[in-house]
Amino acid sequence: MGNDLFSRVDALLKSRGRVVIAIDGQSAAGKTRLAGLLAERYGARVLHADDFFLQPAQRKAARLAEPGGNLDRERFAVEVIAPVREGRIAYVRRFDCKLNKLLPPQQIPFSPVSIVEGSYCLHPALGPYYDLAIYLQVDPGIQRARLQTRYDAARLQRAMDEWVPMENSYARAFNIPEKCDFVLTMA
């Protein structure tokens, strides 16, 4: 994985001067970890799709029934995609799931390498804003074990019953892995 991926990023950076990398994939597959490794190597900024879950008023049955409907695509397009495409500072209002509200804007400075990571970040409604697309997958047993370290029993059950199936449905509906430059299984 490493050398091929790094070589590709290096080549894109050399030819374009800036690179946008999108990392989508299954829950607990290592998206945030890979984004962190790339950010460390390239001094990149990282923008997280997890900060864009739907606000309570947006959680309508029809929206949640859509593949990838759990992401606030409209706000994601304005706060992440537009600044990334235009090579400018991003002002991101994270949605705090515990407080159930948007937090004040946080400034994410420009960097020649921008990494957008998280489930649903390659949704076709967002357009092809990226130069390099990566999809991460994980063995279901490893996925469950990793999720157990994140959540209490009730949230783990919700993740396994709702969130994981929604992510898998989205990936299948839009053929996300097949459209990516790299499909990786993180250990």
| The pLDDT of residue 2 | 66
* Sequence ranges of the domains in the chain: 2-185
Round the average pLDDT of the chain to a whole number and report it: 94
- Confidence (pLDDT) at 128: 86
SS in 3 state form for the chain? CHHHHHHHHHHHHHHHCCEEEEEEECCCCCHHHHHHHHHHHHCCEEEEHHHHECCHHHCCHHHHHCCCCCECHHHHHHHHHHHHHHCCCEEECCEECCCCEECCCEEECCCCEEEEECCCCCCHHHCCCCCEEEEEECCHHHHHHHHHHHCCHHHHHHHHHHHHHHHHHHHHHCCCHHHCCEEEECC
Residue 1 pLDDT level (bands cut at 50, 70, 90): low
Q: What is the pLDDT of residue 89?
A: 96
Query: So what CATH class is 2-185?
Result: alpha beta
pLDDT tens, position by position, 46-101? 999 999 999 999 999 999 999 999 999 999 999 999 999 899 999 999 999 889 99
* pLDDT value for 71: 95
